[in-house]
Structure 1
Amino acid sequence: MEQVIDKGICFRLGGERYVHSISNVKEVLSYQSPAPVPGAREGVEGMIDVRGNMVTVLYGSHLLNLDPAECEEEGHIIVLDLPTGYFGIRVEGVERVMSLPEKNETNGLEYRDNDCVQGTIQDNNELYILVEFNDYCSTLD
């Protein structure tokens, strides 16, 4: 039996299922259109105000190198609380919270060249791609 070390939030994007550790997840919001930011870096959709905190919203499709045409559904924004600020990741839908095992499979992972992808998790005959956006978000200014 695998030892559980953390919980993760499961979400859909571009026909795949993903999971991100909830350790830095502040909350999940229904999608709201962000205000554009002139001169923003590629992948930044804009900014939203969440109870007085400015949140930079990023396209999840950009972070995972997915075709944006396959990720059009407006669903949720996963808000991360990081030392460098609040960041929202736009995803198609949030499904549930699940336990993350201590060891994750990485063999044969087609996304392995993406820095955000950490491995895969098999849960109830479903494959989830384990991602970590914290490092990428921390490089934004």
Structure 2
Amino acid sequence: MDQAVEKGICFCLGGERYIHPLSNVKEVLSYQSPAPVPGAGEGVEGMIDVRGNMVTVLYGTYLLKLDPNSCKKEGHIIVLDFPTGYFGVRVEEVEQVMDIPQSVDTNGLEYRDHHCIQGTVQLNKQLYILVEFSDYCKALD
């Protein structure tokens, strides 16, 4: 059995399961409609106020290059805390917090050429795609 290096938050989007390191996760919110931001870049849905902090909300489908029509609903916002600010990623559903095993498979990811995807992990007989959004969010600053 692989020893866990850190914890991750598991979420669903577009029929796939993902896991993001918990170290940057501030909280998970039920979806609330963000205020639009004039001139915002593609993939930015808008801004929300979370206890006095402005959070830029990004479409999870855009970040992961998924067809928005493949998603049933986007019901949660995962709020991430980075040195450049707070960012929210809109996802269908947050499942749970789990240990991320030390071994991550990076083979076979050619079908999804994307800088946010780090590899895949097998957890409880389910395949999860390991993602890390920090580099993308830093580029938005």
Distance in 2 of aligned mates of 1:88 and 1:72: 19
Amino acid at match of 1:132: E
RMSD after superposition: 1.0
Q: 1 CA distance for matches of 2:128 and 2:46?
A: 28
Identity across the alignment (%): 74
**What's the counterpart of residue 47 of structure 1?**
47
Structure 1 position 107, deviation (Å): 1.4
1:41/1:7 Cα in 2 relative to 1: closer, same or farther (>3 Å)? same
Q: Write the deviation string for residues 8-32 of structure 1: whole angstroms up to 9, x where unpaired.
A: 0000000000000000100000000
Which residue type is aligned with residue 37 of structure 2?
Answer: V
Q: What does residue 109 of structure 1 align with?
A: 109
Question: Which letter does structure 1 place at the counterpart of 2:42?
Answer: E
Deviation at 1:108, TM superposition (A): 1.5
Q: Distance in 2 between matches of 1:97 and 1:32?
A: 22
Paired residues, number: 141
Deviation (angstroms), 1:114? 0.5
- Residue aligned with 2:140, SS: coil
Asked whether 1:8 is paired with 2:5, we answer no
Query: Deviation digits for residues 102-135 of structure 1, max 9, x if unmatched?
Result: 1201212255410000000101111000000011
The residue correspondences of 1:1-141 to structure 2 (distance < 5 A) are 1-141=1-141
Sort the Cα spacing of 1:119 and 1:63 in 2 relative to 1 into closer, same or farther, 3 A. Answer: same
On the 8 A contact 1:111/1:117 being kept in 2, the answer is: no
- How far residue 72 of structure 1 moved from its aligned partner, in angstroms, is 4.6
Q: Which amino acid aligns with 1:66?
A: L
Structure 1: which 4+ aligned runs deviate by more than 4 Å?
A: none
For residues 49-95 of structure 1, give each alpha carbon's deviation from its aligned partner in whole angstroms, at most 9, with x where no partner exists: 00000000000000000001112503100000100000000000000
Distance 1:29 1:111 in 2: 31
8 Å CA contact 1:36–1:47 kept in 2: the answer is yes
Gaps of 5+ in 1: none
Checking the alignment, whether the CA contact within 8 Å between 1:121 and 1:130 is kept in structure 2 is yes
